[in-house]
Chains A and B, each alone.
Chain A
Amino acid sequence: MADVTTTMQRPSPAHASGPKPRRAFSRRNIMIYSILFVLAVYYLLPFYVMLMTSLKGLTEIRTGNIFAPPVEITFEPWAKAWSTVCTGLNCDGLSRGFWNSVKITVPSVFFSITVASVNGYALSMWRFKGANVFFTILIIGAFIPYQVMIYPIVVLLREMGLYGNLGGLVLVHTIFGMPILTLLFRNYFSSVPEELFKAARVDGARFWTIYFKIMLPMALPIFVVAVILQTTAIWNDFLFGVIYTRPENYPMTVQLNNIVNSVTGVKEYNVNMAATLLSGVVPLTIYFLSGKLFVRGIAAGAVKG
């Protein structure tokens, strides 16, 4: 696991700036680029079709070709998906799910990262007896199928009066984000030179002082990686959202599924695709803006189940 992370981080100058192939149009190159091009088209096609469908009118969808660009561009499906499409009795569109997802994701990301960063810091610099036992349980626990734990957690949340509301879901996300994030922070803090820590100790700094004054500012890049990792994971979550919240608090993924797979009424494919794209906007934006950091998060997450 560790070697994956380290090699990921390395910019690998040997490859990137290595000698270019001598002939740009050798048979080998033409083959490689054409295979890559075909594959790229295959990977991009669903996105393209989503976008095109969401910009067409229903009649054009029924008579036309799924791959054809719209003859007449309309933004009505987007408007409808955002503000008027119905799920059950609510007809205020996907905007409700969007804001629910924001209300779920922001505190979940904040709490899970706060808890895990302090925990990772304690595990790497202030080891105490038994710490490794719990850490091992935590890492192995990441592989337990959620299905094994979901019902007892329902019981626990009900006892605490958190079942059905956002607080309960935030707690669940904090719990299940802990293994991967703790690992991420523990590995990072373990790589910090020990002298730095010792010097601070000699100067009389204590646990929290060292954390806030030295470690926190230093670990900013890893915090960014953690935020990317968690925001995408929590935004995309479906299972926990559907189990631990009531319908009025459903996150965007659950609402989206209910809209598209509802059996009543005429299927409005353009509205469905606009809604699907809307749900993908946040993670896609994060993905395209974060670039290499996203990859680093994945490499760190390689241990997660």
Chain B
Amino acid sequence: MSQSGKPTGLFKNLSAKIAAIPMVLTALVIFVGCSVWTIVFSFTNSRLLPSANWVGLDQYERLWSTRRWMISIENLAIYGILMLILALVVGFLLAALIDQKIRFEDGFRTIFLYPYALSFIVTGLVWQWLLNPEFGVQNAVRNLGFETFSFDPLYNPDTVLYGVLIAGLWHTSGLVMCLMLAGLRGIDEDVWKATKIDGIPAWKTYIVVVIPMMRPVFITTLVLVTSGIIKLYDLVIAQTGGGPGLASEVPAKFVFDMMFVSQNLAQGFAASTMMLVAVIFVIIPWAYLEFGGKKHG
């Protein structure tokens, strides 16, 4: 955009270069350096402290034969798929409802978004309390006379993930709504007028015309929600602690426990490298869609 003064070479534009030092250091030392460091040390048998004792792919072999890791992966897959679908559906429905020229729009939006301002710890603890079988929702419904009513997801290994999902959805769907609403508002009024003249019902317009037009917003939301899912940690810690048993373990928790609790550093490195690989699988298609076709300025 702009050219600096006369001096040439390294000293050209010196102030800007000085100002960019923190960015350069962060990019090179933290994002590149630390990631490479972790990947390299995942090929060692580091335990309490990092060591340079190379063991090849042993850590990965061990990782993939660890029951807890397999459970973590499976949990994340189930949680992730359901979360993605439900967050997009609920978020879009909320946005579409709010976009109907309603009164108190700001009020409704404020209500749907406020959970997003709270931490995952707070979210997890509230839902832990609500889903408490002795005093929570189950008890309240039983008191109404439905003596056999059972709603106790957090204490049953088969359903605990859905309990976490309810909390996660409560926290995140407001954000999705916000992004979707921005997308809906970006669509030209004329589109609506045109489909109205053609006599196409509103729900069909949404599915056939509006949603395809909102592709960029959907992709952004998808990437955002997905990378949030992969990082899922605080919510599980607060709500279930990974239990009952191993039923709600997730990869991020596995990494943390290996590194800071079990003194099994290299297992943690190997597991976190696998998380990185998972993210790369998400980012590459997105980067391709976002920047591949057009020149980015």
Contacts and interface: CB of A to CB of B under 8 A. Distances in A.
Contact of A33 (B24, B102, B122, B217): B102
B125 to A, nearest CB: 5
B231 A66 contact: no
A66 B35 contact: no
A88 B142 CA distance: 36
A126 B27 contact: no
A273 B289 CA distance: 45
Contact of B20 (A33, A119, A153): A119
Interface string A286-305: 11100100110011001111
A247 B114 CA distance: 30
A86 B6 CA distance: 64
B19 A279 contact: no
A180 to B, nearest CB: 12
Contacts of B94: 39
Given A32-B100, A119-B19, A206-B15, A151 B115 contact: no
Contacts of A235: 119
Contact of B129 (A15, A135, A272, A286): A272
A4 B182 contact: yes
B114 A284 contact: yes
B233 interface: yes
B170 interface: yes
B139 to A, nearest CB: 7
B48 to A, nearest CB: 12
Given A126-B13, A148-B272, A238-B121, A43 B170 contact: yes
Contact of B23 (A152, A182, A303): A182
Nearest to A305: B227
| Chain A interface size, under 10 / 10 to 19 / 20 to 34 / 35 or more | 35 or more
Interface in B253-275: 255-256, 259-260, 265, 268-269, 271-273, 275
A15 B101 contact: yes
Interface string B5-32: 0000000110111011011101111111
Interface in A167-184: 174-175, 178, 182
Contacts of B130: 45-46, 49, 66
A260 interface: yes
Given A126-B16, A302-B224, A119 B31 contact: no
A295 B122 contact: no
B50 interface: yes
Contact of B111 (A14, A44, A145): A44
A12 B99 CA distance: 11
B262 to A, nearest CB: 13
A272 B129 CA distance: 9
Interface residues of B, number: 106
Contact of B113 (A7, A138, A295, A305): A295
A174 to B, nearest CB: 8
Interface stretch (B58-66, B146-154, B183-191): B183-191
Contacts of A150: 259
Contact of B31 (A149, A174, A260): A149
Nearest to A190: B1
Contacts of A79: none
B149 to A, nearest CB: 13
B211 interface: no
Contacts of B164: none
Contacts of B113: 287, 294-295
B71 interface: no
A212 interface: no
A25 interface: no
A121 B216 CA distance: 27
A20 interface: yes
B209 interface: no
B1 A3 contact: no
Interface string B117-144: 1111110011111101001110110010
A140 B31 contact: yes
B97 A43 contact: no
A148 B275 contact: yes
Nearest to B121: A253
B259 A140 contact: no
Interface string A17-42: 01011000000000011011001101
A126 B2 contact: yes
Contact of A127 (B2, B26, B282): B2
B75 interface: no
Given A144-B276, A190-B1, 17 more contacts: A4-B216, A66-B140, A119-B23, A123-B20, A127-B1, A127-B16, A128-B16, A138-B23, A141-B31, A143-B227, A145-B230, A145-B275, A148-B38, A237-B119, A253-B121, A257-B238, A305-B279
13 contacts: A8-B178, A66-B135, A123-B23, A140-B31, A144-B276, A145-B276, A279-B119, A279-B122, A280-B117, A284-B118, A298-B178, A299-B179, A305-B231
Interface of A: 1, 3-4, 7-8, 10, 12, 14-16, 18, 20-21, 32-33, 35-36, 39-40, 42-47, 49-50, 53, 61-62, 65-67, 115, 118-119, 121-128, 131, 134-135, 137-138, 140-141, 143-153, 155-156, 174-175, 178, 182, 190, 194, 197-198, 201, 206-208, 232, 235-239, 243, 253, 256-257, 260-261, 269, 272-273, 276, 279-280, 283-284, 286-288, 291, 294-295, 298-299, 302-305
Give 9 nearest A-B pairs by CB, closest first: A141-B31, A236-B119, A207-B15, A126-B16, A305-B227, A287-B117, A152-B34, A137-B27, A122-B16
